[in-house]
């Protein structure tokens, strides 16, 4: 039996208190893999726009676990049989769903781990933990993978209405101060039900679901894809690109990095590498925001002017300018920006570090095609798009694309002369 | 005239919005000295107790500036003449009041900067900025020092009821989730008034002031002096002690640290050094939490078992045990704990890194003797202790002392064998 | 000059504090016409669904005045010249915009004041007050009517984005507990600007405006047109119909009502009556919720079984059943319900009091065709429907219609036998 | 078994949702005795100071029931056996603890029901309901009376830390907007435990309990005993006194009142009357705020100038002046005030309606001598006064007395000439 002194209560500004309900969950929270999430911010560089947005993946994962507990209670109170083991497994799965995130996850995945998605790493780490805990995570893994026979568990872990989204919208809204992002998670959860072990929402919850979809859409543009965040992330991408270039080039000036991080800068690591060589996964479980920031600080005094200029700019929040458009930018515009940069003394081989084109989409925040099912009073189950008189339900889940270009306006010549 | 595009609005979950009202204030916020505060957490290691407590001194300073603006408006609306220059100076002074803080300020001041208080450094940096901004901070400095002829400005910057405390109680309460710490800052500010240019509170604000004092007392014990925070800070002190020992000893195994941080580990820097050698202040303005954390991460794999064990324990949140008492601990108890540690294989010369005695007091949070003045309807001004029927007003400002001992219980032998 | 002791601060849970900024505004708040609004709930019978929804039109009007003050400040800070007189007039106009509301306004307008809209009465009362205050409301009246040469004042008083809506969505959300109704009023107001003295929203405020429109739509269905509210209002309409019938019939059993209220029950009052006979307006300014409730309580023991049954049902919250549909109900269904009621002993002449058909639309909450103008960074002004990628902006302002039928299911026979 | 469609969820702005957990509780909520509480405001005339303070005893009782449910869960989770029947009984008892309140309870008890306390009536009504529900409330009644063998149930219903106080401090704080009144009810409840079936608080909850006591003290003075509330209540007392005088005098001008209310105005009803004559209890269960307000409105046009003047003043919020003091007022002062009133034309026999002396104490809000027990980590149980280093714990529960005098300053002569 779980000894009660392993039950722990945490303060959470968003929900008041979070209780860790079982001994195994407590041990997982205490595990270094999970403690590492304390050192990884949920919103990466968004703090440059929203100074309060400093919350971590650690706190988010605990919040999602808390909501999962509420969902279990709600479904049980509606007469659905859910065993203690299932409850715990569902809470384990959601607690660990993000354990494979690295620091500045989108940036890292984009430029260092091109072919390895964080969910794959989460699963690897769950299997690793499953061994350490003598198979105690087996059911949680099946739920996470979607192979457990009762589909609603997977839906609560990963779908349009999963506990992940419920928590992060609330939490991101709280810490950024974008009050419109707050959703009535409690209300939606109370409206959850099951039909044939599929997750549905009672009809009277339609408006809350619509509100949730709206809040999510607002948060994309107001927070997740805020143009200043895009700008900061672009700068970080260039920094990592340059550092990698210098390291691989084997410059006479060494480029500082903690060994575990250097591994990822030096090598091109594929999913197969991850699977076959234990070194990579071990190194990954050591990575956190501090590795990246300590490098940025050291690189700001590196002799390479590209690297040091970019790092110092980011540290001092001297950001690139950015333009957004729904259309791709005309070649002439980019040409003109390049010319401006050349006039500040930049040579052509480094231009690309100071002028970045790209696209931002909300795709990362959208689920893969699953529907939200509404249970009518008649008992019938229909798609929310058919249940709502709001014609734009579909719109809310569309992928929207923004083209952007950002560049170092008025960059200081002196520093670059040394190129 | 200030160009309007230098006015900026920031989201703040605590107050909704913070407006930066003048061009000079905006430029100060943009200055690298101030941007550094983004990288220094307000509550140091309290996140180990309250996972949401990740807010920075940057956000706090902006919040205090915001409240100062409200105080200015209130006093003006009560007929007191305050010029635009005075308003701006007051906001500058409070914005910069904490600019001399280093990372983990209490720890650092205690073990690396023994004789240099953060307020002294704040003042040095304000003088430095005053030069860079052609004397634009002269009035702010006089207010900060308390040499300006209208005393209430200094009182709003540093006294029992200053805007510093108003903001940090609210903000710390918000981010920790300790709702009882929230104070009616808006209400108290609306009750502020002046008598002979001294700050007073209208009689009808007595209850709010009492509540503020109570909230402050609660926050000491619930947050600032929480036993787990004390424990984490003790561990960090030992880590820095050990790193310093190894560096000064000149061990054959180099001890990593960014150069600016190493300076403070290697040398014993006095106030005179700070004043006479520009190097120290320059280095100080580069220090932040990331320097400390990146060292902890590197040191966790250093060959010295004391250093690496302590660092890995902190990273993985394997904390010392702690006991608190209102009385000093008996020699026998400490003897017994030492014996326990010896049995785990610790040699006597390193015992002191794993068994720490100390005292915690709320003194750091208490003002130096100034009173809170209440203005009665009759116009008379009296001390709040005389105005309140609450006999314990004085109690609330007493210095309370707790003795503690913390130690590494059940520390792993294997790692230490190498000693 | 306004003496400062007429400035008053009120506690408001929604905004913290509301300051009444001028002497004239203070005197208007103190006037019996305005104090009457203390006795008129903002949401009528919605408290039967949301027990916290007890806030009054008094509080709402003060809140709207507060937001108007913020809007004035924002516009001034963006360089637009607004005189003190204009500020005060705008605040007066919004303070008094609802002063012509009677108790249970929608019910009363529907069954007692068929041809007299509350805005017409508001205007009459503003003219009356203008006389009492020696012309001090002249400018406010022009703004209210839309005849003042600077159109944005009227837009702030009555348009898609007026301070009325801003306050009531926030306030209704707060008191009902429907958190999704809360809008970032502060944020939207900060984004307001003027182009050619027309109200516009800065482009970066688009998302907040969308969120506002969504919140409004949610509040219609979740609160304003909640089926139980419709049901309660239908019952109240029947009660008033029956009372009027008995009074006009001149039954031997007198029907209690305070004299001022009886006037409206006894007579059919047209707009012309209001305009030509001072008695009606005077009587109207005495009416409040207490008149209606005291009658319901007295009528619950009146010998007429229809009246007493309906009143007792409402008092004890034994409500009609209700069905909603997007289509008109089939004749057969209504026939069947009638038959059911006949079987409980109801005679045909009173059936219509216990079986009510009707339509609910959100029309009352929608503005009359004015657009929301967005000011692009380029300076161009376009309609939000063109500025947003959300295709359903128009949808959000569509008029939606629901058909309903409600009836007294299982009504007690005994009481009605006496018919 | 309880059918699930009798389970109901209510929106509550304070706690989010309140679930009514059993069929019997649902039926009690639906009962006219309980529905009557919808028409009785929790804070009487405090809305004249805090315009948002319109919440009812209905909502408060539901909130207290909700907190009781949380307390039951907490105690069960700590291993204490509590049966479903006990849970339900505890929730019934707290739901009905205030059912004996009349409108403007303190006023009514003071001038119409001198010898009958609301708790006695609550108990009578609970016995009545027990009969109607076939003995289903028997256990709840024993808990309420304190005769059940497990004392903690009574302590949760009525003691220093009962769910009544927990809810009303939170709720009154929410609706008045006095944020300092908000207490961490959730936190305190999580700290509750039992020792020998006595309610105790875990040692780590001491600070929260202190905060709770402080908040309570603040609310007395800021809200419950606010001088303007005292003033309004005094006026209402005089109104009722005068109406009673006129009714008993049998004036030729009838004094309107609903029959049930008139009973209490006409007669002097003792506890024995209540117990022996069913009429009084029946009448009492019909009384609500609307009865009082409808009389005030009618009496405002009654020919008696004392009655009509007082009523019109209250309706229009033309309030008495008030002075407070910690000492009784000197005879000369009262003499002078009397003289002032005489000069406005008041005859001596009516002076006492316009000049009122009295005392306000917090006694009504203080519990009768029971202690708050703290359970130390050692397992020992001590009084909080011994556990806290805050010397004034006792002070917080002292009875404080304020003397007041209030009078009709500048009362209009014309109206009174008719005397």
CATH number at residue B209: 1.10.3210.10
**Contact present, D322 and D403 (Cβ < 8 Å):** no
Collect all residues from D whose CB is shorter than 8 A from any CB in C. Answer: 10-14, 16, 30, 32, 35, 38-39, 47, 49-52, 54-56, 58-59, 62, 174-178, 258-259, 286, 288, 290-291, 293-294, 297-298, 301, 315-317
- pLDDT at B7 > cutoff 90: no
Rounded mean pLDDT, A294-310 = 94
For the stretch B15-44, pLDDT in tens is 988 999 999 999 999 999 999 999 999 999
Which positions in chain A touch C184 (Cβ < 8 Å)? 179-180
Share of chain A above pLDDT 90, in %: 64
Could you give the 3-state DSSP secondary structure of residue C378?
A: coil
Choose one of C225, C258, C292: the last residue of a domain.
C225
**Contact present, D18 and D148 (Cβ < 8 Å):** no
Neighbours of chain A (3+ CB pairs under 8 A): B, C, D
Rounded mean pLDDT, A61-69 = 97
- pLDDT at C217 > cutoff 60: yes
Instruction: Give the per-residue pLDDT at A370.
Output: 72
**Reduced 3-state DSSP string for C241-297:** HHHHHHHHHCCCCCCCCCHHHHHHHHCCCCHHHHHHCHHHHHHHCCCCHHHHHHHHH
What burial class does residue D331 get, using C-beta atoms within 10 Å of its C-beta: 0-12 exposed, 13-18 middle, 19+ buried?
A: exposed
- Asked if D25 and D61 sit in the same domain, the reply is yes
Q: What is the DSSP pairing of strand A355-361 with strand A401-407?
A: antiparallel
Instruction: Give the per-residue pLDDT at D412.
Output: 67
Distance from the Cα of B45 to chain A's closest Cα (Å) equals 12
Instruction: Give the per-residue pLDDT at C207.
Output: 82
**Contact present, B122 and B116 (Cβ < 8 Å):** no
Could you give the 3-state DSSP secondary structure of residue B64?
A: helix
For the stretch B286-321, pLDDT in tens is 999 999 999 999 999 999 999 999 999 999 999 999
Interface B-C, measured as beta-carbon pairs within 8 A, has a size of 16
**Contact present, C69 and C91 (Cβ < 8 Å):** yes
For the stretch B382-407, pLDDT in tens is 888 777 765 556 666 677 788 999 99
Of B241-245, C180-184, D136-140, the range with the lowest mean pLDDT is C180-184
Neighbours of chain B (3+ CB pairs under 8 A): A, C, D
- Asked if C157 and C275 sit in the same domain, the reply is no
Tell me the DSSP string of D334-367: HHHHHHHHHHTT--GGGGGGTEEEEEEESGGGS-
For the stretch A216-228, pLDDT in tens is 888 888 899 899 9
Rounded mean pLDDT, C13-38 = 94
What burial class does residue D110 get, using C-beta atoms within 10 Å of its C-beta: 0-12 exposed, 13-18 middle, 19+ buried?
A: middle
Q: Model confidence at A413, in pLDDT bands (50, 70, 90)?
A: very low
Distance from the Cα of A202 to chain C's closest Cα (Å) equals 14
Instruction: Give the per-residue pLDDT at B253.
Output: 81
Which is nearest to A199 in space by CA: A145, A248, A154? A154
Tell me the DSSP string of D240-293: HHHHHHHHHHT-SS-----HHHHHHHHS---HHHHHH-HHHHHHHTT--HHHHH
Rounded mean pLDDT, C151-160 = 95
Residue-averaged pLDDT of chain B:
89
- Asked if A196 and A235 sit in the same domain, the reply is no
- pLDDT at C391 > cutoff 60: no
In a domain, B153, yes or no: yes
Cβ distance D395 to B395 less than 8 Å, yes or no, reads no
Instruction: Give the per-residue pLDDT at C293.
Output: 97
Tell me the DSSP string of B236-270: HHHHHHHHHHHHHHT-SS-----HHHHHHHHS---
Residue A110's contacts (CB-CB under 8 Å, 6 or more residues apart) are A237
Q: Alpha-carbon distance C403 to B81, whole Å?
A: 63
Interface probe with B: pick from C5, C13, C14, C17, most Cβ of B within 10 Å? C17
Tokens (6 digits) for B415: 């790692």
- pLDDT at A417 > cutoff 60: no
Cβ distance B9 to C190 less than 8 Å, yes or no, reads yes
Cβ distance D13 to C293 less than 8 Å, yes or no, reads no
Choose one of A225, A244, A263: the last residue of a domain.
A225
Q: Alpha-carbon distance B280 to D318, whole Å?
A: 68
Cβ distance A392 to C391 less than 8 Å, yes or no, reads yes
What burial class does residue A70 get, using C-beta atoms within 10 Å of its C-beta: 0-12 exposed, 13-18 middle, 19+ buried?
A: middle
Instruction: Give the per-residue pLDDT at C367.
Output: 61
Task: Lay out the sheet containing C321-325: strands in order across.
Answer: C321-325, C401-407, C355-361
Cβ distance A186 to D16 less than 8 Å, yes or no, reads yes
In a domain, B386, yes or no: no
Interface probe with C: pick from A180, A393, A403, most Cβ of C within 10 Å? A180
For the stretch B74-97, pLDDT in tens is 999 899 999 999 999 999 999 999
Tell me the DSSP string of C49-86: TSTT---BHHHHHHHHHHHHHHHHHHHHHTT----HHH
Distance from the Cα of A36 to chain D's closest Cα (Å) equals 28
Of A6-10, D45-49, D161-165, the range with the lowest mean pLDDT is A6-10
Residue B323's contacts (CB-CB under 8 Å, 6 or more residues apart) are B329, B404, B405, B406
Of B180-194, B393-407, C11-25, D215-229, the range with the lowest mean pLDDT is B393-407
Chain B residue closest in CA terms to D393:
B392
Facing residue for D290 by CB, picked from C12, C49, C294:
C294
**Residue C236 belongs to domain with CATH number:** 1.20.1250.30
- pLDDT at C366 > cutoff 90: no
Cβ distance D221 to B211 less than 8 Å, yes or no, reads no
Question: How many whole angstroms from its chain centre is CA D121?
Answer: 13
Residue D403's contacts (CB-CB under 8 Å, 6 or more residues apart) are D324, D325, D326, D327, D328, D329, D357, D358, D359
Facing residue for A190 by CB, picked from D4, D9, D187:
D9
Which is nearest to B295 in space by CA: B346, B244, B333? B244
Tell me the HSE value of D403 on the side-chain side, using a 13 A CA sphere: 8
Phi/psi for B359 (5° steps) reads -130, 140
Cβ distance A316 to B32 less than 8 Å, yes or no, reads yes
Residue B197's contacts (CB-CB under 8 Å, 6 or more residues apart) are B149, B150, B151, B152
Instruction: Give the per-residue pLDDT at B165.
Output: 93
In a domain, C142, yes or no: yes
- pLDDT at A354 > cutoff 80: yes
In a domain, B396, yes or no: no
Q: Alpha-carbon distance D196 to D40, whole Å?
A: 38
Instruction: Give the per-residue pLDDT at D413.
Output: 46
Tokens (6 digits) for C5: 């002791």
- Asked if A178 and A291 sit in the same domain, the reply is no
For the stretch D358-383, pLDDT in tens is 998 876 666 656 788 999 888 899 88
Distance from the Cα of D323 to chain A's closest Cα (Å) equals 42
Interface probe with C: pick from B5, B10, B17, B74, most Cβ of C within 10 Å? B17
Instruction: Give the per-residue pLDDT at D388.
Output: 72
Question: Count of CB atoms within 10 A of residue D405's CB?
Answer: 20
Which positions in chain B touch C8 (Cβ < 8 Å)? none
Interface probe with A: pick from D3, D13, D15, D16, most Cβ of A within 10 Å? D16
Distance from the Cα of A384 to chain D's closest Cα (Å) equals 23
Which positions in chain C touch A400 (Cβ < 8 Å)? 389
Interface A-B, measured as beta-carbon pairs within 8 A, has a size of 102
**Contact present, A208 and A349 (Cβ < 8 Å):** no
- Asked if B62 and B175 sit in the same domain, the reply is yes
Interface C-D, measured as beta-carbon pairs within 8 A, has a size of 103
Tell me the DSSP string of D119-146: HHHHHHHHHHHHHHTTTTTHHHHHHHHT
Chain B residue closest in CA terms to D397:
B390
Share of chain D above pLDDT 90, in %: 65
Question: Count of CB atoms within 10 A of residue D262's CB?
Answer: 17
Rounded mean pLDDT, A136-140 = 98
Q: Model confidence at C368, in pLDDT bands (50, 70, 90)?
A: low
Strand partners, C191: none
Instruction: Give the per-residue pLDDT at A143.
Output: 98
In a domain, B16, yes or no: yes
- pLDDT at C413 > cutoff 60: no
- Asked if D23 and D74 sit in the same domain, the reply is yes
- Asked if A167 and A231 sit in the same domain, the reply is no
- Asked if D219 and D243 sit in the same domain, the reply is no
Q: Alpha-carbon distance B19 to B10, whole Å?
A: 6
Share of chain D above pLDDT 70, in %: 92
- Asked if D216 and D243 sit in the same domain, the reply is no
Cβ distance D51 to C38 less than 8 Å, yes or no, reads yes
- pLDDT at B419 > cutoff 50: no
For the stretch C325-363, pLDDT in tens is 888 999 999 999 999 999 888 889 999 999 999 998 876
Instruction: Give the per-residue pLDDT at A365.
Output: 62
Instruction: Give the per-residue pLDDT at C390.
Output: 58
Facing residue for C16 by CB, picked from B17, B78, B186:
B186
- Asked if D52 and D141 sit in the same domain, the reply is yes
Q: Alpha-carbon distance B301 to A259, whole Å?
A: 10
* Residues of the domain holding B259: 227-361+403-416
Prediction ipTM score: 0.91
- pLDDT at A394 > cutoff 80: no
Q: Alpha-carbon distance B289 to B39, whole Å?
A: 6
Choose one of C192, C207, C225: the last residue of a domain.
C225
What burial class does residue A16 get, using C-beta atoms within 10 Å of its C-beta: 0-12 exposed, 13-18 middle, 19+ buried?
A: middle
Instruction: Give the per-residue pLDDT at B418.
Output: 43
In a domain, C334, yes or no: yes
Collect all residues from C whose CB is shorter than 8 A from any CB in A. Answer: 179-180, 182-184, 207-208, 210-211, 214-215, 217-218, 221-222, 326, 389-392, 395, 400
Cβ distance D17 to A187 less than 8 Å, yes or no, reads yes
Cβ distance C186 to B17 less than 8 Å, yes or no, reads yes
Q: Model confidence at C370, in pLDDT bands (50, 70, 90)?
A: confident
- Asked if B262 and B182 sit in the same domain, the reply is no
Which is nearest to A296 in space by CA: A231, A235, A357, A230? A235
Which positions in chain D touch C52 (Cβ < 8 Å)? 11-13, 55, 59, 175
Which positions in chain C touch D13 (Cβ < 8 Å)? 52, 174-177
- Asked if A282 and A304 sit in the same domain, the reply is yes
Chain A residue closest in CA terms to C217:
A207
Q: Alpha-carbon distance D344 to A85, whole Å?
A: 81
In a domain, D104, yes or no: no
Phi/psi for D361 (5° steps) reads -135, 160
Q: Alpha-carbon distance C360 to C234, whole Å?
A: 11
Instruction: Give the per-residue pLDDT at D48.
Output: 95
Instruction: Give the per-residue pLDDT at A187.
Output: 84
Residue-averaged pLDDT of chain C:
89
Q: Alpha-carbon distance A263 to A265, whole Å?
A: 5
Residue-averaged pLDDT of chain D:
89
Instruction: Give the per-residue pLDDT at B395.
Output: 63
Interface probe with A: pick from D8, D13, D18, D77, most Cβ of A within 10 Å? D77
What burial class does residue C374 get, using C-beta atoms within 10 Å of its C-beta: 0-12 exposed, 13-18 middle, 19+ buried?
A: buried
Into how many domains does chain B fold? 2
Facing residue for C17 by CB, picked from B16, B78, B186:
B186
For the stretch D103-122, pLDDT in tens is 998 888 777 777 788 889 99
For the stretch D64-95, pLDDT in tens is 999 999 999 999 989 999 999 999 999 999 99
Tokens (6 digits) for A256: 């500082």
Instruction: Give the per-residue pLDDT at B369.
Output: 62
Which is nearest to C85 in space by CA: C127, C32, C143? C143
Distance from the Cα of B78 to chain C's closest Cα (Å) equals 8
For the stretch A114-132, pLDDT in tens is 778 888 999 999 999 999 9
Angle (CA) C390-C393-C396 rounded to 5° is 130
Rounded mean pLDDT, B102-120 = 82
Q: What element of type H or E holds C90?
A: helix C84-95
Tokens (6 digits) for B405: 């001992």
**Contact present, D268 and D302 (Cβ < 8 Å):** no
**Contact present, D197 and D159 (Cβ < 8 Å):** no
Cβ distance B190 to C17 less than 8 Å, yes or no, reads yes
In a domain, D107, yes or no: no
Rounded mean pLDDT, B206-228 = 87
Instruction: Give the per-residue pLDDT at D364.
Output: 62
Instruction: Give the per-residue pLDDT at A389.
Output: 64
Chain C residue closest in CA terms to A186:
C179
**Contact present, C206 and C374 (Cβ < 8 Å):** yes
Cβ distance C17 to B78 less than 8 Å, yes or no, reads no
Angle (CA) C215-C217-C223 rounded to 5° is 90
Neighbours of chain C (3+ CB pairs under 8 A): A, B, D
For the stretch D263-315, pLDDT in tens is 999 988 888 888 899 999 999 999 999 999 999 999 999 999 999 999 999 99
Q: Alpha-carbon distance C287 to C285, whole Å?
A: 6
């Amino acid at each position: 039996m779980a000894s009660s002194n392993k039950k722990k209560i945490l303060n959470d500004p968003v929900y008041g208190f979070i209780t860790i309900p079982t001994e195994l969950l407590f041990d997982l929270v205490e595990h270094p893999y999970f403690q590492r999430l304390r050192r990884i911010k949920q919103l990466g560089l968004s703090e440059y726009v929203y100074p309060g947005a400093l919350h971590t993946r650690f706190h988010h994962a605990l919040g999602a676990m808390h909501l999962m507990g509420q969902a279990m209670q709600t479904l049980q109170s509606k007469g659905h049989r859910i065993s203690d083991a299932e409850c715990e497994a569902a809470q384990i799965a959601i607690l660990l769903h993000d354990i494979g995130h690295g620091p500045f996850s989108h940036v890292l995945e984009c430029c260092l781990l091109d072919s390895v998605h964080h969910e794959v790493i989460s699963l690897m780490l769950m299997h690793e933990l499953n061994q350490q805990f003598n198979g105690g995570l087996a059911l949680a893994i099946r739920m996470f993978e979607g192979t457990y026979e009762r589909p609603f568990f997977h839906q609560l872990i990963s779908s349009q209405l999963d506990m992940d989204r419920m928590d992060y919208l609330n939490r991101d809204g709280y810490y950024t101060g974008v009050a419109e992002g707050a959703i009535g998670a409690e209300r939606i959860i109370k409206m959850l039900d099951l039909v044939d072990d599929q997750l549905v929402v009672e009809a009277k919850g339609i408006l809350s679901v619509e509100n949730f979809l709206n809040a999510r859409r607002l948060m994309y543009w107001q927070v997740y894809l805020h143009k200043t965040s895009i700008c900061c992330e672009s700068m970080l991408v260039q920094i990592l690109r340059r550092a990698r270039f210098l390291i691989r080039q084997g410059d006479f000036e060494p480029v500082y990095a903690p060994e575990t991080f250097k591994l990822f800068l030096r090598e091109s690591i594929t999913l197969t590498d991850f699977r076959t060589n234990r070194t990579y996964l071990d190194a990954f479980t050591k990575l956190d925001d501090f590795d990246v920031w300590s490098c940025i600080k050291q690189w700001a005094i590196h002799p390479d002017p590209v690297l040091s200029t970019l790092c110092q700019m980011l540290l001092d929040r001297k950001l690139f300018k950015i333009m957004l458009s729904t259309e791709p930018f005309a070649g002439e515009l980019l040409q003109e920006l390049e010319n401006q940069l050349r006039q500040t003394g930049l040579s052509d081989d480094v231009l690309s570090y100071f002028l970045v084109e790209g696209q931002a989409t909300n795709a990362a925040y959208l689920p893969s095609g699953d529907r939200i099912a509404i249970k009518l009073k008649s008992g019938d189950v229909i798609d929310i798009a058919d249940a709502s008189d709001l014609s734009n339900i579909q719109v809310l889940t569309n992928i929207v694309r923004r083209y952007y270009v950002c560049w170092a306006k008025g960059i200081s010549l002196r520093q670059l002369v040394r190129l």
